[in-house]
Amino acid sequence: QKEVEQDPGPLSVPEGAIVSLNCTYSNSAFQYFMWYRQYSRKGPELLMYTYSSGNKEDGRFTAQVDKSSKYISLFIRDSQPSDSATYLCAMSAGNTGKLIFGQGTTLQVKP
């Protein structure tokens, strides 16, 4: 069993839709939860990070962490074609910076 599970998709939605991306994990020591966006042939860029459980909102993006269920989500409101990319969840148990990534979900937002 992988430490972090993420449905690779692809996920295709119409412009303006609400997108829900999810990851599950097995290691209860994870405390830091990140979402990265990666465009084709580029390095990942950090979208949001959350410490422990709870919600965090930044513009059209909302990250949720439910440690009791070992489940994290990223919601994208009013999705745009420019949101089309691969979204990777990542987790860390401590402050060392060592990240464990999910497989990534490929999202396509159609105009």
Partner 1 sequence: GAVVSQHPSRVICKSGTSVKIECRSLDFQATTMFWYRQFPKQSLMLMATSNEGSKATYEQGVEKDKFLINHASLTLSTLTVTSAHPEDSSFYICSALNRASGTVTYNEQFFGPGTRLTVL
- 71 forms part of the interface with partner 1 (CB under 8 A): no
Asked if 11 touches partner 1 (CB under 8 A), the answer is no
Strands 105-110 and 11-14, by their bridges, are parallel
Q: Specify whether the CB–CB gap between 68 and 15 falls below 8 A.
A: no
Among residues 16, 51, 55, 77, the one that binds partner 1 under rule CB under 8 A? 51
88 binding partner 1? (CB under 8 A) = yes
Smallest gap from Cβ 74 to partner 1, in A, equals 16
Q: In terms of residues, how long is the chain?
A: 111
- Biggest CA pair distance of the chain: 41
Radius of gyration of the chain (CA): 13
By CB under 8 A, tell whether 97 contacts partner 1. Answer: yes
> What is the binding site for partner 1 (CB under 8 A)?
4, 6, 8, 32, 36, 41-46, 49, 51, 88, 95-104, 106
